[in-house]
Chains A and B, each alone.
Chain A
Amino acid sequence: MAAIVVTITSGKGGVGKTTTTANLAVALAEDGFKVVCIDGDIGLRNLDVVLGLENRIVYDLVDIVENRCRIRQAMIRDKRLEELYLIPAAQTRDKSAISPSDMIRVCDELRSEVDYIIIDSPAGIERGFRNTIAPADIILVVTNPEVSAVRDADRIIGLVEAEEKGPAKLIINRVNPGLTKRGDMLTPEDVVELLAIELIGVIPDDENVVISTNRGQPVALDPKSKTGQAFKNIAKRLQGQTVPFMQLDDKGDFMSKVAGLFKQGGD
């Protein structure tokens, strides 16, 4: 096995990086892959909370880097899915506790043992961002259909290109079909047109995500959730499958338009 390292990043905070990381990891693990998530947000860890593994942390990423434990010891196995693991961030340190080459070393060591390594990036474009970008094979940029989030996503995509890690792929989170239809929110088409990168997922705005996040039960675990399905579709697309974009709006057809727009634009 040679793992694929996927880094989830955004620039702006609060757009759903951690939620996306957790759900994508769950979806890939449900598809039978061995998945490790790494929380790259040293000092402000929360991937453990979203995955509901908070109370089982003994060692963390900084312990691995500073040789206080082996990687195996810091990998927390998920209770629900056999093949899902988490390497948590340290809470009491900051971003400078690890360097980009530390991250590359940790990922290289894991590569032979797992199928996917999913890294949750901190907000911002400083050290923490560079740490999480360094080992990545695929970079997924999460944004919301808001002007400020799209602006930051654009900046991040530029930085990813500059680091010669591109092209990044795009996830648009918290799309509200009602608002977009009334013209009060950017449509996914608008976002894709501005950012001009490949769209890999559109996630609807869903209050159940808040509830599940608080409970530590990612929505992707719920077979009935539409939002969970949207994350599972991203997991499928990551594996190279072609999955049509979900119809978010009962009447609307803009999702198919987005898919069409992208097909024209990207070749």
Chain B
Amino acid sequence: MENNGLIQIKGIREGLLISAENGAWDDRTAELLIMVKQRESFFKGARVCLDVNETPLRVKQITQLRDQLSDLDVTLWAILSRSETTENNARVLGLETALPVKKETIESKESNERVESAAEKAVLVNKTLRAGYKVESMDHVIIVGDVNPGAEIVSAGNIIVWGKLKGSAIAGVQGNMKSVICALELRPTQLRIGEKVFPPQQKKGKTFPEVAYIENDDCKIELWNKEKGR
């Protein structure tokens, strides 16, 4: 069997960290599977975290690899990636996307660099977010669809939901208190802008598009009004 050096393995506290950062995805998985088969006794029962660097992976690609590994009695529990697509897809499948210790260092490093650029880009999610789904972005987040209870949006900028917001939404997560959250129907489980948690509200009957924001350190929710020019 040839080994193209696409795969590197090292032991970490949480199990094995496998780096497969470059090369065609099919080549990488093939090499990984061969490697696991060759050293069956070493890998048997292992918990594996895969670092794919910038590779954008589709859900199908992740599930396929996860199931192939699972056949060899290897558990894929986390995928590390710089691609937001990969991170979100991995999260949908209930996989971790960061190592417990490493996470904080990444976040604190990024927080200094990226606050300024937070107002420029947006992530568009064109579907309903169901329970357990989390969208996390340093940019604005736009959802075209509903956000169901149990789903969560975390953004460093604004959050706009073209649908019903019934899950949790955290805008301005890195301290941008000018961030707003708006939805066609605002019935969130929890609403936060920066560190400010909005008091829970009871709503009955028909609701209208609303916007939530912070003014003079107070949590405000108002009917959407285009004249405000927000």
Interface majority SS (helix, strand, loop, mixed), chain B = loop
Say yes or no: A154-B70 contact (C-beta < 8 A), given A159-B92, A163-B59, A163-B63: no
Interface residue B203 (Cβ < 8 Å from any Cβ of A):
no
* Contact among A100, A125, A158 for B70, CB-based, below 8 A: A100
A21–B185 alpha-carbon span in the complex (Å) = 37
Q: Are B131 and A155 in contact (CB under 8 A)?
A: yes
Chain B neighbourhood of A232, CB < 8 A: none
* Contact among A125, A134, A151, A159 for B150, CB-based, below 8 A: A151
A154–B128 alpha-carbon span in the complex (Å) = 11
- The tally of residues in A whose CB lies under 8 Å from a CB in B reads 22
Chain A neighbourhood of B146, CB < 8 A: 196
Q: Are B67 and A100 in contact (CB under 8 A)?
A: yes
A194–B131 alpha-carbon span in the complex (Å) = 11
B98-128 vs A, CB cutoff 8 Å, 1 = contact: the mask equals 0000000000000000000000000000001
Chain B neighbourhood of A152, CB < 8 A: 131
The CB with the most chain A CB atoms within 10 A, among B63, B89, B130, is that of B130
Name the residue of chain B whose CB is nearest to the CB of A102: B71
**Which residues of chain A from 123 to 160 have any CB-CB distance to chain B below 8 Å in the complex?**
125, 127, 130, 134, 147, 151-152, 154-155, 157-159
Q: Are A154 and B67 in contact (CB under 8 A)?
A: no
Name the residue of chain A whose CB is nearest to the CB of B146: A196
Interface residue B94 (Cβ < 8 Å from any Cβ of A):
yes
Interface residue B209 (Cβ < 8 Å from any Cβ of A):
no
Q: Are A127 and B150 in contact (CB under 8 A)?
A: no
Chain A neighbourhood of B213, CB < 8 A: none
Interface residue A99 (Cβ < 8 Å from any Cβ of B):
yes
* Contact among B70, B93, B133 for A127, CB-based, below 8 A: B70
Q: Are B131 and A196 in contact (CB under 8 A)?
A: no
Q: Determine how close the nearest CB of chain B comes to the CB of A260; give it in whole angstroms.
A: 19
Name the residue of chain B whose CB is nearest to the CB of A153: B131
Q: Are B92 and A130 in contact (CB under 8 A)?
A: no
Chain A neighbourhood of B93, CB < 8 A: 159, 162-163
A151–B167 alpha-carbon span in the complex (Å) = 11
Interface residue B149 (Cβ < 8 Å from any Cβ of A):
yes
A78-121 vs B, CB cutoff 8 Å, 1 = contact: the mask equals 00000000000000000010011100000000000000000000
Chain A neighbourhood of B150, CB < 8 A: 151, 154-155
Q: Are A164 and B60 in contact (CB under 8 A)?
A: yes
Q: Determine how close the nearest CB of chain B comes to the CB of A160; give it in whole angstroms.
A: 10
The CB with the most chain A CB atoms within 10 A, among B59, B60, B67, B166, is that of B67
Chain A neighbourhood of B63, CB < 8 A: 162-163
A125–B94 alpha-carbon span in the complex (Å) = 9
Chain B neighbourhood of A99, CB < 8 A: 67, 70-71
The CB with the most chain A CB atoms within 10 A, among B70, B129, B131, is that of B131
Interface residue B81 (Cβ < 8 Å from any Cβ of A):
no
Q: Are B92 and A162 in contact (CB under 8 A)?
A: yes
* Contact among B60, B89, B131, B166 for A158, CB-based, below 8 A: B131
**Which residues of chain B from 109 to 166 have any CB-CB distance to chain A below 8 Å in the complex?**
128-133, 146, 148-150, 166
* Contact among B71, B94, B128, B132 for A196, CB-based, below 8 A: B128
A117–B125 alpha-carbon span in the complex (Å) = 36
Name the residue of chain B whose CB is nearest to the CB of A147: B149
Q: Are B133 and A158 in contact (CB under 8 A)?
A: yes
A134–B64 alpha-carbon span in the complex (Å) = 11
* Contact among A96, A101, A147, A159 for B67, CB-based, below 8 A: A101
Chain B neighbourhood of A159, CB < 8 A: 92-94, 132
Name the residue of chain A whose CB is nearest to the CB of B93: A162
A176-207 vs B, CB cutoff 8 Å, 1 = contact: the mask equals 00000000000000000010100000000000
Can you report 30 residue pairs joining A to B where beta carbons are below 8 Å apart?
A: A96-B73, A99-B70, A99-B71, A100-B70, A100-B71, A101-B67, A101-B71, A125-B94, A127-B70, A147-B149, A151-B131, A151-B150, A152-B131, A154-B132, A154-B149, A155-B132, A155-B150, A157-B130, A158-B132, A158-B133, A159-B93, A159-B94, A159-B132, A162-B63, A162-B89, A163-B59, A163-B63, A164-B60, A194-B148, A194-B166
- New A-B pairs, 9, CB < 8 Å, besides A100-B70, A158-B132: A125-B94, A154-B131, A154-B150, A155-B132, A158-B92, A162-B92, A163-B59, A164-B59, A164-B60
Which B residues are within 8 Å of any A CB, using their own CB? 59-60, 63, 67, 70-71, 73, 89, 92-94, 128-133, 146, 148-150, 166
The 6 closest A-B pairs by CB, nearest first: A158-B130, A154-B131, A155-B131, A155-B132, A162-B92, A154-B130
